[in-house]
Amino acid sequence: MTIDCLVLGAGQEVGKSCVVVTINGKRIMFDCGMHMGYLDHRRYPDFSRISASRDYNTVLSCVIITHFHLDHIGALPYFTEVCGYNGPIYMTYPTLALAPLMLEDYRKVMVDRRGEAEQFSNDHIMECMKKVIPVDLKQTIQVDEDLQIRAYYAGHVLGAAMFYAKVGDAAMVYTGDYNMTPDRHLGAAQIDRMQLDLLITESTYATTIRDSKYGREREFLKAVHNCVASGGKVLIPTFALGRAQELCILLDDYWERMNLKIPIYFSAGLTVQANMYYKMLISWTSQKVKETYTTRNAFDFKNVQKFDRSMIDAPGPCVLFATPGMISGGFSLEVFKRWAPSKLNLITLPGYCVAGTIGHKLMSGKPTKIDLDKDTQIDVQCQIHQLAFSPHTDSKGIMDLVKFLSPKHVILVHGEKPKMVTLKERIHSELGIPCHDPANNETVSISSTLSIKAESSSMFIQSCSTPNFKFLKRNLNDKINSKELSSKEGGTSSMFFRRRSNPHVKHLNRNLDEKFDSSLSCGPELEVSDDRVNEGILVMENGKKTKVVHQDELLLLLGEQEHEVRFANCSPIYFGSLDDTHVMDCISRKSLWLSQLSSKLSSELSDRNVQNFGEYLQVESFTLSICSKESCPYRTTNRIENESAAAFYCCSWLVADEVLAWQIISILEKHDLSST
């Protein structure tokens, strides 16, 4: 069985996350985002690749959204209300609460303020959200008879979740965005250890190892304080949900300690509205926020005020949080145009910026001019400060998660191609796990392993612990490197004795050591092994647990008697002239011939135990006797070349010893026993 992963977005790029995974006939779309750096057809994933007929309800089992950021949910209303998908959509309760705010804010910015063609309306957003089935953390959801999913805490932003999906015995995890270290308002990602065929992980900071959180916070506070102390204005372009709350907690606490009276502003009502949800969903925040909630709500910011658009040119220092992040448009771009020409002001970029945005241009090197369009050029004289306050995990966090989960395969998404290549090589070389980094619209197919959980019967377990000694004689003339034998097999006594490391043969080893230590210079080498490879039967009954039983138990379970199928053969064998034995009676001749046969087979089959029981010989299930029947039903021929020197032997064996049987028959046919 294979798992096919079609990457429709975030393949070797950061933006429009969308991965369609097919597991044993079930097809899941993980995330349905838009690209913040494009305004043309590249903004949305190419949904036609899922179904040429655009019959998405038939081909998709469900859609799973990991969190409310637009690069993970921005295309969802378009996919449901314009493209026509009506199937189940799963996301956490906080994501369901906050996603409409983010989507409507984006719609207003792009349509009402920039005059773009409307991709989806407010009604589309509301109708889309009605299709959502909310899930709680670690709640197992049975999507249908075969597919089950489960959400795990991802940190990153409020309500973000990693999702586990299982179909039959194939299992995988899609991380979305996550953070492996806690911050001031969210905890670190948490997930159970599981047996996975596949892990699909974000790789935004594939090669970055961050400094300590406290060092980054001090650097940020110092830059902000220096700017406002000099009379400048600080613009912090950030999305209204996530880093805004993290940095507001940090600045509010610092303002209290330093007794600063300089105003801190939110740019719009969206953040105020979002803070209300943060207060309501306190159980999804960090442990520290939850512990102090009864005495003080961390989201009641004493020093943060609402900002009015008319205050852009007001004199005096201030700190302003403006949306959207990355300065990709909206109010943050409007403020940037007005404040960028002043050397007193500061633009601080707290997180990752997608290529194509003004934030990315500022981070790539301090420009003096930025062309907004063919008619607009921005004069950039302000200070630029970049700081990694991103809610994404760094390369160490990614490696820690991959090592913890130890999947059979890894697929990297949501990252820059050169950095993904480096991380891919690290995962393969350091962890020995095959890793892939597909581009957009590429499909990766991996094989999944079929495994079955089964109980074991007491008889089967007992049979597994029964010793299975084998004794092998070797000629002393054989050149054996005793050091090599000792290191490979665990033996330490002498070159004449090689043993396996098994607690059940320790006593035997000790006795044999004493025996052979006194005769190192003579006698054959004796190799003792205890190979315990046992055979059981897998029993699967309706309504009962799968069980491995001993073969003797199967007949009892079926209520049947034992039947044994044996193969038989009767062939001539030559012992030389019968003159010397004609005076013997029939019984004596048979005994003599069996003794000769036993010696010959023991010589040829040195690794087998040939037993002579007087009436017949036995090697494993193979039995051999002298045939006295004039007309034997198993005889292959009644013609013999030399009747005075021939007799017939009968043999039989079980199918399990078929190879051994034909080996013995070949020995008897090829060798003349007259000299034995």
Among all residues, which ones are annotated catalytic?
A: 202
Cα of first residue to Cα of last residue in the chain, in angstroms, is: 58
Closest by CA to 350, choosing from 317, 321, 382, is 321
CA angle 228, 230, 232 (to 5 degrees): 55
At residue 305, the 3 state secondary structure works out as: strand
> Quick one: tokens of 22?
């097919």
For residue 511, the tally of other CB atoms under 10 A from its CB is 10
3-state secondary structure of 162: strand
DSSP helix/strand/coil, 503: helix
β-pair type (537-539, 547-549): antiparallel
Question: Phi then psi for 45, rounded to 5 degrees?
Answer: -65, 155
Q: Measured between alpha carbons, how far is 93 from 281 in angstroms, rounded to an integer?
A: 9
Q: Which of 353, 358, 304 is nearest to 335 (CA)?
A: 358
Is-contact 206 415, C-beta < 8 A? Answer: yes
CB contact at 8 A, 369 and 378: yes
Torsion sign over Cα 210, 214, 217, 219: negative
Q: Token pair for residue 348?
A: 């601080």
Dihedral (Cα; 623, 626, 629, 632), 10-degree rounding: 40
* Whole-number Å distance between alpha carbons of 553 and 359: 71
Query: Before 100, cis peptide (omega within 30)?
Result: no
Only one residue has tokens 């997930």, namely: 191
Phi-psi region of 156 (alpha: psi -120 to 50; beta: other; left: phi over 0): left
Tell me if residue 374 falls in helix, strand or coil: coil
Number of Cβ within a 10 Å radius of residue 463: 17
Q: What are the contacts of 247-250 at 24+ separation with CB within 8 A?
A: 247/220, 247/321, 247/350, 247/389, 248/299, 248/301, 248/304, 248/321, 249/184, 249/185, 249/298, 249/299, 249/301, 250/184, 250/217, 250/220, 250/221
Please answer whether residues 79 and 85 qualify as being in contact, where contact means their C-beta atoms are separated by less than 8 angstroms.
Answer: yes
373 touches 411 (CB < 8 A): no
Q: Could you give the 3-state DSSP secondary structure of residue 199? A: strand
